[in-house]
Structure 1
């Protein structure tokens, strides 16, 4: 039985060719079937002021949503990423499959309300807290994907290979539930893909935790087992100590080593890559890989600033991720990405190639949509015929000034709104947010609160 055709009529919409007025978007079976600009509305059309293609979050650790706001008390004058990590490990050791599903559903609901309709979940909570495998090895992965299904968001699951505690060091006791091997990871990928074969919202890829946690042989073995078209993600060069340890152990900086030793291409997403030298920046950009930038988390953890301007000038691609999920906000990620560059350079309007003039908000949005969609491996993310029917409706009344058109809309959304004002959100042809509320908000939030109380008990 075919799905009925539904339609939205927008006064203005951001299409792949730019802003257009009076746009009708028809969708059926979870995909756009017709998009026409400069036309009249039909009586059955749902009316909208502004329609945008929603952004993907290309990097997420869903379980860390359960500690949002709880790591902001100084326990050590030398507080850093490494001390924060100890608190994260303590949380990771307590989450069971039911709790994981409830936490994931809450986070993904918040993402949908914040302007995201796709998430790449970098998943490494594979085993039971004591390190033993579950009867179903992909149990925790299924919990994450089930949480995405409850919320109605698009999911790119990245089961992540995690072998060592650091360069040349075995896993520590608190890392035992992360333990995995290439065939274990392939098993998770296969099980999830088989269970969601006909689900246009679920995709799979592979994660490599970091050069600290996997070596060259691990990477080569993993890549030999996965399909050639899946996305490959890795944490890299996030912290200066990580760079120093890599130089000491491998004789080269992390990104330089990876580009020298492995055939990095457009399938790859190098997450953070905060600390690059100029040569690494140019080579990374030339590889076609996507930089997975997570400005809120990178600021929260004190990571540092990615060399965005030089990377853009070298033709690099990037997208944004919510990472530790201390705050789910598409516009705040973009705003902080630009503002970090301004604070460092003491100049304005930096995120544009070379001497190009134009809207910074539009450039950041377009680049993050394209780079994030590539990194998530879900094929597009644009308002275009044949693409998955995802869109975000924004009311003109929610903008800070009246009568805004075109790129001024995005500049206002990125730089002059505390939160992204997603009024209605469509994902895969289903309305998941209506008038600013998720369609299952009460149910999902109640389960989340119960899960958090259980964790604390």
Structure 2
């Protein structure tokens, strides 16, 4: 058994000083004792937080960050961005995918994420044919997670169509497409790979109601009756308009009529949900996966989080396109966007409560639920996933308790993370991942070749 002493820590019972954690061989916290640091035990100075779950990532898109910021000849949107993404993804081979994923995961851990939900829809070879092992690229993401130490919930994506009503896929989508039988084989291999990794979990992800018919969705849920289910829904106005035109229903309304929404579901974005849909999501206990930086980058619109949270709705955060990987920036953007929409400060916090603490606790719980992680936080039985903030900087001067979180999220504290532990093993030291040099060098060669071609 290993031990770590935390000078100050955020626990489910609140902030506590001088805690010594005993960590079992499986990386979980087996005991917590309060008191001075025992002799010979490593001491984590500053403030220690539980690691956050990143509930929505497309790791390969880290490689194209910054490359779509040139105005086109018409109005730019998600749909014009998507055309560029199709061109980029068409050039990647399995080694490239793994190298870029490892870089993204390094940056996630450095940013305070200790688990990633990989919404993985890149399945096929460049010509659209399945690999000999249909789970080849799923296994590459698990390998990248293993190399970097991050925990992963692998969410292979079922993607069959280009639009509502079973519209045939486009040429640009050839690397994503699979039928139900092919997906079952792919998912079986992905599940084996995820579960073979000590910190691996498995779920499924019907891509969107554009890409899956109602019959396929029903059959898919029947094939996989347990575990997390994630889906993109109501991200763009055009998606809502197309769904209304074809089905006479709004997307989340249609989804709820097709399947039984429950706590196993994570609805990604839900940006344009109306009041009735928000109420239905809150009642069902689903998690809404919000990706504020990506949603802003794509110009998607604004989810009414104030209304949703007011109804007891659950949410978490994700990095999605990985255009910028920062847990504190996602939290700040989430709150600031709601302030824009509601025209008031501290929009998502109950009266008298810390906004930073409110957001952090909600995303820890919501992300854990969405990724099927079980107990979260610095508590007995939970994994020893720890993020250490160096509180010696001026951003934290005279701050105590929840003011530490508020100052981290909303203050000048970008480089505050000094150490990160996953399963009790240190993977970030001095603010940098211990394997960053080699992983970054490998990814640099890939990007120079792919982008420079």
Could you state the TM-score of these two structures normalised by the residue count of structure 1? 0.96
Corresponding position of 2:414 = 419
Question: 156, 159, 166: which one pairs with 1:162?
Answer: 159
Residues 1:428 and 2:423 are matched in the alignment: yes
The residue aligned with 1:276 is 273
Which residue does the alignment assign to 2:173?
Answer: 175
Paired position in structure 1 for 2:238? 241
Q: Superposition pairs for residues 250-261 of structure 1, below 5 Å?
A: 250-261=247-258
1:224 CA displacement: 1.0
Q: CA deviation at 1:381?
A: 2.5
User: Aligned residue for 1:317?
Assistant: 314
1:13 aligns with 2:4: no
With over 3 angstroms needed to count, the CA separation of the structure-2 counterparts of 1:81 and 1:197, relative to structure 1, is closer
| Aligned equivalents of 2:440, 2:58: Cα separation in 1 | 19
- Alignment-derived partner of residue 44 in structure 1: 40
SS of residue in 2 equivalent to 1:11: strand
1:326–1:196 distance in 2 versus 1, CA, 3 Å: closer
- Give the secondary-structure state (helix, strand or coil) at the position aligned to 1:178: coil
| 2:146–2:197 CA contact under 8 A, matched in 1 | no
Q: Give the 3-state SS of the residue equivalent to 2:29 in structure 1.
A: strand
| Residue 414 of structure 1, CA deviation | 0.6
Measured in 1, the distance between the counterparts of 2:91 and 2:14 equals: 47
> How far apart are the structure 2 equivalents of 1:90 and 1:296?
22
After superposition, the Cα gap between the structure-2 partners of 1:376 and 1:149, relative to the gap in structure 1 and judged at 3 Å, is same
Change (3 A) 1:420 1:265: farther
Contact 2:218/2:258 (8 A) holds in 1: no
Alignment of 1:373-392 (within 5 A): 373-392=368-387
Query: How far, CA to CA, are the matches of 2:67 and 2:389 in structure 1?
Result: 32
1:115 corresponding residue in structure 2: 112
Quick one: which of 216, 219, 236 aligns to 1:218? 216
Distance 1:140 1:193 in 2: 13
Tell whether the 8 Å contact from 1:374 to 1:380 is kept in structure 2 after alignment.
no
Listed as ranges, the gaps of 5+ residues in structure 2 are none
Q: What is the SS of the residue equivalent to 1:396?
A: coil
Which position in structure 2 is the counterpart of 1:365?
360
CA contact (8 A) 1:33 1:386 kept: yes
**Equivalent position of 1:184 in the other structure:** 182
CA distance in 2, matches of 1:145, 1:199: 7
Cα offset for 1:420? Answer: 5.5
* 1:69 counterpart = 2:66: yes
Residue 175 of structure 2 aligns to a residue whose secondary structure is helix
RMSD of aligned Cα (Å): 1.3
Residues 9 and 24, structure 1, Cα contact 8 Å, conserved in 2? yes
Q: Is the 8 A contact 1:200 1:428 kept in 2?
A: no
| Structure 1 residue 227, shift from structure 2 partner | 4.1
CA distance in 1, matches of 2:363, 2:262: 18
Q: Which residue of 1 aligns with 2:399?
A: 404
Give the Cα–Cα distance (whole angstroms) in 2 for the partners of residues 148 and 195 of structure 1: 11
